[in-house]
Amino acid sequence: MTNNLDKLKLKLEHKFKAVFGIPKNQIAFPFFVAIHDYIDFIEKDEYLRGLIYGLGVFKSCSPKNLLIQRGRAIDDMNNVFRGRKMPNILISFFNLYAVYLGIKDLDRTPTKTDTHENRLKIVKQLENVRDGIRFANKGYLWTHRSKYYGWVRIVYNELLSLIEVDRQAQKIKGIREAKKAEKIKEFKQPEIIGKPAEIKATPGTNLAIKYDYDLANKLAWFKFNGKEMEFKGKRSIVFHFFYMLSKINNNEYQTYHDFNEYLKANDLNIKIDSISFRQSIDNINKRVKDEIKDLKSLIKLKDKNNPKEVNRYQWKMEI
């Protein structure tokens, strides 16, 4: 699976670089085509599509639904997103999906009888850009063309983060399954294995929760029932590590060794020992309890039978 993910990341990087290979002062129709190809690659890949649409915010606010079924205008929806302080990943993918949809529509020549008016406006804007009509109204897409670089980067970084979280989850799962198989072989006694994991709602599916992050600057923002907290430095990465595991329904307990593997996989030049890991988690839980009040904790310590055993933790929201 690792080799397949590496190949997938290289292909995604190729599409990403195709957009950034066009300088801002040379933006023209090929720029929007490159954005279309970037989203088209994500849409056609079942794994990447699952990662994006698996995010909680997309279950309540799908770009596809807003643009195709409901025919919402791009500028109006961006105003709504800003007013509601929606996550950057939703805003970014929505705007990129609008370009993707517009380029697809150019090839099929849509009409008023089969397409919403606002969707036809996107097509017209792209036609004007393509045909180089200098004084025509090129609309929202052209006016905000430089913003698309940032939106492409946000989606790219989110996918890389989700891929690495999933990779680590699969690696840990493989190690544990190997150990379990070895135990069965050693003791030669029947044991039920491979029981399907219980499907549980992730924090992203709860509309009372909003989350955003900036790993480059080591910042994370968590909002619950209107109360927001900001985490900085190592604690922001610890928080992000557990939160992202919860989003892919990984309920396995994690140690500081697992966390350091995650740091290494994401090229983060940081290392953390067991004491710092525990202190970061204790601080996160204390701040959550003191500042949000509606929550008792977010990261749970596994009960230990052996006091010398390494501490193990999992994301578990206690109200």
* SS3 (DSSP) at 234: helix
Helix locations, 188-271, DSSP H: 233-247, 256-265
Confidence check: pLDDT of 204 > 50:
no
Could you count the other beta carbons within 10 Å of the beta carbon of residue 232? Answer: 11
What are 130-163's pLDDT values in tens digits?
Answer: 988 776 566 889 999 999 999 999 999 999 989 8
Cα 116 from Cα 208, distance rounded (Å): 32
Q: Looking at residue 191, what is its pLDDT?
A: 41
Cα 137 from Cα 125, distance rounded (Å): 7
Q: Looking at residue 49, what is its pLDDT?
A: 92
Tokens (6 digits) for 308: 């010398």
Q: In DSSP terms, which residues pair with 254 in a beta bridge? A: 313
Mean residue pLDDT across the chain: 82
Distances 181 to 169, 178, 251, 253 between C-alpha atoms, Å: 18, 5, 20, 19
Distances 73 to 28, 79, 94, 107, 120 between C-alpha atoms, Å: 22, 10, 11, 21, 10
Confidence check: pLDDT of 309 > 80:
no
Asked whether 177 and 228 are in contact (CB, 8 A), the reply is no
Residue 253: closest CA among 201, 299, 189: 299
Residue with tokens 């643009």: 67
Q: Looking at residue 207, what is its pLDDT?
A: 44
Distances 93 to 21, 64, 71, 115 between C-alpha atoms, Å: 20, 10, 16, 21
pLDDT tier, 84 (very low <50, low <70, confident <90, very high otherwise): confident
What are 226-283's pLDDT values in tens digits?
Answer: 888 899 888 999 999 888 888 777 778 898 888 888 888 777 778 888 888 999 999 9
What are 55-81's pLDDT values in tens digits?
Answer: 888 877 888 888 887 888 888 888 888
In the chain, pLDDT over 90 holds for what percent of residues?
A: 29
> pTM here?
0.58
Domain boundaries, the chain: 2-155, 196-318
Tokens (6 digits) for 131: 């045909």
For 9-69, the DSSP string reads HHHHHHHHHHHHTS-GGG-SHHHHHHHHHHHHHHHH-HHHHHHHHTSHHHHHS-HHIIIII
